[in-house]
């Protein structure tokens, strides 16, 4: 069961129960219309649906259970990516409220399944991609969601990173008067998301430090998707290369950047 608690739950008949095989990320669509697609998605003749819809005012509707069921938005891409329709037309940019809504959905997926905080332009990498990237296998919609909205995906990811990086009460960062501790020496190996996951004391040490600064991640010494998502969000915040790889700069920034 994976229903987003900020979305209005409006289940539709157009779906394939238990049809999801993977959680690779999210596909951005444009609706080319100005009203909730619920009625359209809930009649079998349309043969269409999506996981989500975000209105221009930022309200969110969810039509299928993203954790298990397959929506019908992007043909062969439905098994592996979730989908979000956005109200409006390709000639119109997403409103700020829509960017916020899509970012909230993305942050939710990042927490649940480790969707990486990255924009991708293909149908294999995990991240935030777009409908036309799938070509004919995804129904042949090269103009969905259009260049304007495609270019706004970076803003969506940046906002999702902010949402994920927000400190939580139990792990609130120390007051700013306390000086940051000196960075321990970089362990000498690049820590990245791999299979099997990298593990070790250096991973644990970095996780402890990030957690002390209010980032939500487990201190288990294993560099999994959650750690990688936090690393990427942290890199975006610190204007480092957002590659989720902990090299000397990212390592040092975790200690030398001021605790605020
Ligand atoms: Zn589309």
Compute the distance from residue 214 Cα to the ligand 1 centre, in Å.
37
Residue 43's pLDDT is: 97
Specify whether 122 is located in the same domain as 94. Answer: yes
Is residue 93 assigned to a domain?
Answer: yes
Torsion, Cα of 221, 227, 232, 236 (10° steps): -90
Specify whether 160 is located in the same domain as 180. Answer: no
Specify whether 132 is located in the same domain as 237. Answer: no
Domain endpoint, select from 146, 165, 184: 165
* Parent domain of 246: 169-256
Number of H helices, E strands in the chain: 7, 8
Residue 83 in tokens: 């989908």
Specify whether 73 is located in the same domain as 115. Answer: yes
Domain endpoint, select from 139, 165, 191: 165
Is residue 108 assigned to a domain?
Answer: yes
Domain endpoint, select from 112, 133, 165: 165
Specify whether 161 is located in the same domain as 208. Answer: no
Give buried/exposed letters for 78-117 (b at 16+ CB in 10 A, else e).
Answer: bebbbbbbbbbebebebbeebbbbbbbbbbbbbeebbbbb
Is residue 103 assigned to a domain?
Answer: yes
Residue 181's pLDDT is: 67
User: Closest Cα partner for 65 from 2, 138, 134?
Assistant: 2
pLDDT of 217 higher than 90? no
Specify whether 65 is located in the same domain as 95. Answer: yes
Specify whether 121 is located in the same domain as 209. Answer: no
pLDDT tens per residue across span 130-189: 999 999 999 999 999 999 999 999 999 999 999 998 544 444 454 555 555 677 888 888
Compute the distance from residue 134 Cα to the ligand 1 centre, in Å.
10
Compute the distance from residue 17 Cα to the ligand 1 centre, in Å.
21
pLDDT tens per residue across span 25-76: 999 999 999 999 999 999 999 999 999 999 999 999 999 999 999 999 999 9
Residue 201 in tokens: 């004391």
How many C-alpha atoms does 106 have within 13 Å on its Cβ side? 32
Domains held by the chain: number: 2
The CATH number of whichever domain residue 161 belongs to comes to 3.40.80.10
Compute the distance from residue 31 Cα to the ligand 1 centre, in Å.
7
Is residue 3 assigned to a domain?
Answer: no
Compute the distance from residue 84 Cα to the ligand 1 centre, in Å.
9
């Amino acid at each position: 069961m994976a229903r987003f608690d900020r979305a209005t739950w409006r289940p539709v008949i157009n779906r394939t129960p238990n049809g999801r095989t993977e959680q690779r990320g999210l596909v951005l669509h444009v609706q080319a219309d100005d009203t909730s697609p619920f009625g359209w998605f809930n009649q079998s003749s349309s043969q269409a649906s999506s996981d989500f819809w975000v209105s221009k005012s930022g309200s969110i509707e969810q039509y299928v259970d993203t954790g298990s069921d397959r929506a019908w938005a992007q043909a062969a891409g439905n098994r592996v990516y979730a989908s979000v329709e956005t109200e409006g037309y390709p000639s119109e940019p997403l409103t700020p409220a829509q960017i916020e809504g899509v970012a909230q959905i993305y942050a939710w997926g990042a927490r649940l399944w480790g969707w990486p905080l990255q924009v991708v332009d293909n149908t294999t990498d995990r991240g935030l991609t777009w409908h036309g990237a799938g070509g004919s296998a995804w129904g042949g919609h090269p103009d969905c969601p259009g260049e304007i909205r495609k270019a706004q995906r970076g803003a969506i990811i940046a906002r999702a990173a902010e949402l994920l990086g927000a400190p939580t009460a139990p792990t609130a960062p120390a007051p700013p008067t306390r000086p940051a501790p000196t960075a321990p020496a970089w362990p000498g190996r690049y820590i990245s998301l791999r299979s099997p996951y990298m593990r070790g004391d250096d991973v644990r040490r970095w996780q402890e430090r990030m957690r002390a600064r209010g980032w939500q991640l487990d201190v288990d010494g294993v560099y999994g998707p959650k750690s990688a998502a936090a690393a990427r969000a942290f890199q975006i915040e610190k204007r480092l290369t957002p590659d989720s790889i902990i090299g000397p700069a990212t390592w040092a920034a975790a200690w030398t950047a001021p605790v605020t």
